[in-house]
Structure 1
Amino acid sequence: MTLKQQTAPYEHWEYVHPESGDRLCIVPERGGLITAWRCGERELLYFDQDRFADPSKSVRGGIPVLFPICGNLPGDLFRFDGVDYTLKQHGFARDLPWQLQLLEDQSGIRLSLSETKLTLAAYPFAFLVEMDVRPVQGALEIGITIHNRSAGPMPFSFGLHPYFSVDDPAQTELVGLNDRCFNHLNMAETGTASQLKCLAEGVDFLCRPAGPVTLVDRSSGRQLQLQPEAPMDLSVIWTEPPRRMVCLEPWTGPRQSLISGDRKLEIPPEASTRLGCRYQLS
């Protein structure tokens, strides 16, 4: 079978591409989390299985989904129509159970999330998020369709938070970023080059669109390129030593976008929008 349940080393669904044999591991009930992406003979994702075993802790690894915000809001408060809603960092999508199904042509999988009483208490909109994930030609292609099923416009941000395994963050480069970035650690603009020198010490910064961004692991000789599609074309870089990983994240908008209006997206009532990106291995 192309998609089957597995119990070891933890409960998950395994998708195997019928032609290439590339593999995905998915835990839909834990935020629609993709925990593994094996491309050829290489496992690309970092995943802390011990931490994952404790549901009281946030996940470190795989590809968490950020929706309906990226980053955090002041006091975790989202105000809409004069009402304050509690909306925690990165939103709720990474914490809720998703639905999983095989795509009709068996080329990948679809993960789906829709509103519940819990989400409506934090974000007063009816929605459907459908995320199609396909391993294709030495790459991972991700297409997202977000449907607004509400009677009014729906503001949102969307992002992915993939953790990529590297042999040594100090021997890792990122090519294609803008010269200037925004440092989330001190909330100030700074030079990107200074941040890249500190990957092994821990960084968290955002770069405005600059086209494809390539993660170069000099120790292994592996290169992985993020090929974003506007508007999901902001790049966030995050490391957390001593973990041997680098997060190369596509976001639609910066932190607090829904308040500042900076790259805030809105979907008209009963309409939808499409987002996408691709990770190419070389």
Structure 2
Amino acid sequence: MFSIAVQQQQYKTYILSDETAGSQLEVVPERGGIITRWRIQGQEIFYLDTERFTHPDLSVRGGNPILFPICGNLPDNIYTHNGQQYTLKQHGFARELPWEATESKTKDKASLTVVLNSNEQTKAVYPFDFQLAFTYELQGNTLNVLQEYKNLSATPMPFSAGFHPYFLCGDKTQLEVNIPSGRYQDNITKEIHSFNGNFDFNQDEIDFAFGQLTSQSATAIDNSRKLKVTLDYDDFSTWLVFWTVKGKEFYCLEPWSATRNSLNTRENLTVLAPGASCSASIQLTANFF
């Protein structure tokens, strides 16, 4: 049985439930269209810094933030389009703006669609008319995120997009991460390294970008929590980023459509023709063992 409840917390919060499976999602459209919580049998899958979340002027650290129209950062936060310079902050603006919940369904699954439209604020830093429509689907221990990107402009629209999910974890030394790539760029040193499947969690920060993906699935097994998380993605996602900070109870496994600075380098950049749209999806599955 599936249901959707609405609660007025600090923000209006939509709670999607699969009561048979004992799974729940919490979505806060007006805070960046974000999923803040995902629980299975009462256990949290996502990490959320709840204190930070109460401050609207701070970016959310937790849940599943949306990255658009860039992933990562730009040198000096600047990109050039048609000879004009624009400024965009790290990961873009979609995670900071209010989205609108437009449709919900409880037949066969619990699903909620949230929409973001361009406005004068977005066009000042990204000169395009667009509409994003994301549908969150909860069924059993699986979360699907269906995405649609529409270019409503009269000119081609370049962008990259992705997600920044924060997974709650226990002892990181008991974490096994399987990423389908043999090399990564260290985003801190900018050096390229081969990857043998191991991370040194004694580092203060790990920020690795994996390209040349050889499959459309990655896994992380947290042996201390007896939890396996599987991330499946389509060919829209061309990079995976693994990020964590020493002493914090999270790791991030992030599907990106392009790497940092793609608005300038054009590498893996998606360019939609006027009036065109494209769709993408990711699927997260959590299993306790």
- Normalising by structure 2, we get a TM-score of 0.91
Contact 2:238 2:268 in 1 (8 A): no
- Structure with greater proportional strand content: 2
- Indicate conservation of the 8 Å contact 1:169/1:200, yes or no: no
Equivalent residue, structure 2, for 1:159: 162
- Which region of structure 1 is more displaced relative to structure 2, 173-182 or 141-150? 173-182
CA 1:172–1:201 in structure 2 vs 1: closer, same or farther (change >3 Å)? Answer: farther
Range that drifts further, 246-255 or 185-194: 185-194
> Contact between 2:12 and 2:30, CA under 8 Å: does it hold in 1?
no
Other-structure match for 2:128: 125
Please report how far the alpha carbon of residue 63 of structure 1 lies from its aligned counterpart in structure 2 after TM superposition: 0.6
Maintained 8 Å contact 2:17/2:138: no
State the AA in 2 paired with 1:213: A
8 Å contact 2:18–2:140 — kept in the other structure? no
C-alpha displacement of 1:136: 2.3
- Of 21-30 and 98-107, deviating more is 98-107
Alignment of 1:1-282 (within 5 A): 2-8=3-9, 12-17=13-18, 20-106=21-107, 107-193=110-196, 196-198=199-201, 201-208=204-211, 209-211=213-215, 212-282=217-287
Distance 1:233 1:226, change over 3 A: farther
Question: RMSD of the TM alignment (CA)?
Answer: 2.0
- Give the 3 Å change call, closer, same or farther, for CA 252–243 of structure 1 in structure 2: same
Task: Tell me: CA distance 1:61–1:227, structure 2 relative to 1, closer, same or farther (3 Å).
Answer: same
User: Unmatched 5+ residue regions in structure 1?
Assistant: none
User: Do the aligned residues in 1 keep the contact of 2:23 with 2:41 (CA within 8 Å)?
Assistant: yes
Residue 8 of structure 1: how far off its partner (Å): 4.9
Note the residue ranges of structure 2 that are not aligned, 5 or more in a row: none
SS at match of 1:95: coil
In the aligned structure 1, how far is the partner of 2:132 from the partner of 2:286?
A: 27
Cα distance between partner residues in 2 of 1:100 and 1:148: 20
> Percent identity between the aligned chains?
33
Q: Letter of the aligned partner of 1:72 in structure 2? A: N
| Regions of 4+ moved over 6 Å | none
Matched AA of 2:279: R
Question: How many residues align structurally?
Answer: 282
Question: Does the Cα contact within 8 Å between 1:67 and 1:91 map onto a contact in 2?
Answer: yes
Over 3 Å counting, the alpha-carbon distance change for 1:74 and 1:160 in structure 2 is same
SS of the equivalent of 1:2 reads: strand
Residues 12-41 of structure 1, C-alpha deviation per residue, up to 9 Å, x if partnerless?
222223654421111111111110011334
SS at match of 1:204: strand
